[in-house]
Structure 1
Amino acid sequence: MLSVGALRAHLLAARLAGRVATSREESLRSYRLFAARDPRVLIGLDPEWAWNQRDLIELMADKCGVSADPRHVEGDDVIDPERTLVALDAFSERIEAAARRRATVLLGTGHPHRLLGFYAALADALSSAGCTVLTPAQGHCVDITTRFGLRTYNLDYVRGVALVREPDAPSSGRATGAHTHSPLPVRVALAAAAEAGGPLPELVIGDHGWVCGAGQLGFEAMGLADTDDPALFVGEAEGVVAVVVPLDDAVRSDYYRPLTRYVLNRACLSQ
């Protein structure tokens, strides 16, 4: 079993926590846009409270360990590995509880190139524990506004994990997909599940719009988020999102494997 000390060392060595690749400038820009309620940064969340940039800096300092000094405006951002570890434990507890009650779950990612393996391992373990892993709306079209204009993507599932692909992307089942923050894919998936008469997920696991979009609709949702994704942490602060694990969400995919082992061990789901 991977010890807490070994995982902490890995988080720092892989730059999943500690000094991360996300820049302070990127994070502050996201906080400004969130304060202005830009939908590109809200990613499906409809905040109940008014949040200005200083509020967001303070929240992210508390949740992630970034600098609380608004005069700190450049350089690499920082994530406190202790906060990552505490959140991973809470994340694992929810996984264990879902497995124990054989919950119906939905997993999706806007970072398929980086995080698909992490979520797929969770999907495999939960399925082996008797959970139903949903795959609603496979092949459905999702129109997403991007910086290049309106683009149509196809919703697909790989090893039980939802992602979106461009229409001309390689055939279904391949572990490639588009990077997106949009909440529209999870809305399409949930609507299709409802229209089919259910079941609906008791837990949604993912990142970006998968978490915020599902949480805003009243589903228990949790996932991973970087320092420039304030929406998930605001959702957690407002009680809309269950658990958010602060870490860099764009390092090499194999760097997340120790996290997978740690979560599955903590959740008593090691294979």
Structure 2
Amino acid sequence: MLSTGALRAHLLAARLAGTVATSREESLRSYRLFAARDPRVLLGLEPEWGWGEGDLLRLMAEKCGVSADPAHVSGPDVIDPERTVAALEEFAERLRAAAEVRAPVLFGTGHPHRLLGFYAGLAEAMSAAGCVVLTPARGVHVDMATRFGVRTHTIDYVGRVALVREPGVRQAGSATGAHTHSPLPVRIALGALAEAGGPLPELVVGDHGWVCGAGQLGVEAIGLADTDDPALFVGEAEGRVSVAVPLDDAVRADYYRPLMRYVLDRARLPAGQEWL
């Protein structure tokens, strides 16, 4: 069992927290775009409150531990490991509560290259606890905006975790998917479930548009977010995201293994196959 102290040490050593690879410039740019209601950083969230750049900086300082000084405009960003640990505890509590009532759960990621294994381990544990881990809309096409224009992607599942991939890029079922912030996949997945008559998820677990898109539609959602993803923390502040865990979401995939084990232990869920 990983102790809280050992987890904190791992977060710092792996640069999941502490000084992270995400730059201050990237974070501040995201706050400017969010304040301007740019859909690329809203991730499917429709904010109810007026969020200016200063408001967002103060929120991210509170939630993540980034510097609240607006004059600090360059260099690496910082995440307080204590805030990460506290949020992981809340994350685990939500999983435990869902497992206790055997709630249907949906997992999805826009970071399959990094976070697929983390979610897949949790999905296996939730299934072993008696939850239905949903896999709707497999093979359905999604037209999403990318930096190369609108591209058609396909919803697929690996380890019962949803991701999207460009058709023909990889064989269905392979672990490589596309990096995306779009909320369209979760909207399509939830729509497919509703059309089929359910069950609908009582909890969505993931990142980016999977969390914000689900939360905006009134489905409880929890997830991981970097300092340049203010939407999840705004969603948490406004009550549409239950838990947003601050950490670097783009380090090596195996660095998330201790976090998965820690969450499973705190949620009192059985550890299964190592996906990382």
Q: Distance in 2 between matches of 1:132 and 1:35?
A: 38
What residue is the counterpart of 1:111 in the other structure? 111
Alignment of structure 1 residues 244-255 onto 2, 5 Å: 244-255=244-255
Q: Secondary structure of 2:33's match?
A: helix
Q: Distance in 2 between matches of 1:51 and 1:147?
A: 26
Alignment of structure 1 residues 39-50 onto 2, 5 Å: 39-50=39-50
Q: Secondary structure of 2:153's match?
A: strand
Aligned partners of 1:8 and 1:85 also within 8 Å: yes
Alignment of structure 1 residues 119-268 onto 2, 5 Å: 119-268=119-268
One-letter identity of the residue aligned with 2:154? N
Q: Distance in 1 between matches of 2:62 and 2:92?
A: 21
Matched, 1:77 2:67: no
Matched, 1:269 2:266: no
Q: Secondary structure of 2:268's match?
A: coil
Q: State the 1:197 CA deviation.
A: 0.7
Q: State the 1:169 CA deviation.
A: 1.6
Aligned partners of 1:261 and 1:270 also within 8 Å: no
One-letter identity of the residue aligned with 2:47? P
Aligned partners of 1:91 and 1:243 also within 8 Å: yes
What residue is the counterpart of 2:274 in the other structure? none
Matched, 1:99 2:99: yes
- Which segment is superposed worse, 165-174 or 31-40? 165-174
Q: Secondary structure of 2:144's match?
A: strand
Q: Distance in 2 between matches of 1:49 and 1:169?
A: 40
Name structure 2 gaps, 5 residues minimum. 272-276
One-letter identity of the residue aligned with 2:118? F
Deviations 1:229-252 (A, max 9, x none): 000000000001000000000000
One-letter identity of the residue aligned with 1:66? V
One-letter identity of the residue aligned with 2:214? A
Q: Distance in 2 between matches of 1:75 and 1:164?
A: 32
What residue is the counterpart of 1:35 in the other structure? 35
Deviations 1:49-97 (A, max 9, x none): 0100000000000000000000000000000000000000000000111
Aligned residues: 271
Q: Distance in 2 between matches of 1:223 and 1:102?
A: 19
Q: Distance in 2 between matches of 1:176 and 1:78?
A: 29
Aligned partners of 1:222 and 1:243 also within 8 Å: yes
One-letter identity of the residue aligned with 1:56? L
Name structure 1 gaps, 5 residues minimum. none
Q: Distance in 2 between matches of 1:92 and 1:115?
A: 16
Aligned residues with identical type, % of pairs: 77
What residue is the counterpart of 1:22 in the other structure? 22
Q: Secondary structure of 2:77's match?
A: strand
Root-mean-square deviation (Å): 0.5
Q: Distance in 2 between matches of 1:238 and 1:170?
A: 38
Give the 4+ runs in structure 1 shifted more than 2 A. none
Q: Distance in 1 between matches of 2:269 and 2:219?
A: 23
Q: State the 1:270 CA deviation.
A: 3.0
Q: Distance in 2 between matches of 1:6 and 1:270?
A: 20
One-letter identity of the residue aligned with 2:229? D
